[in-house]
Amino acid sequence: MDWIDQLPERERNSLESLLDSVNKHDNVYMQAENASVGQIWVAMTLLNQRMEKLESLVKAQRKALNEMNVEVDVDKHLSENLENSLRNY
């Protein structure tokens, strides 16, 4: 996997972490008609689980802020931060 070594360190570490997680399920995706495609589906499933967990955490944080009567428009801040970040390019 020489191409992985050419990735920036942060991306490489992220990919290696994902691949380590995916490889724990090799007994499943190796049974697929096309093991490479099965491996990709397992990776997508794991990424989806991570995203769902993050969404749950954000929901809980928003609920806690609402209960504290703190008004924070997270979406507005995300949009502003994204817009500012894109301006740097």
Q: What is the DSSP string of 29-60?
A: HTTSSSHHHHHHHHHHHHHHHHHHHHHHHHHH
pTM of structure? 0.70
Per-residue pLDDT of the chain (89 residues; tens, 9 = 90+): 689 999 999 999 999 999 999 999 999 999 999 999 999 999 999 999 999 999 999 899 888 888 888 776 767 767 777 667 767 76
CB contact set of 5 (below 8 Å; sequence gap of 6+): 12
Amino acid at 64: A
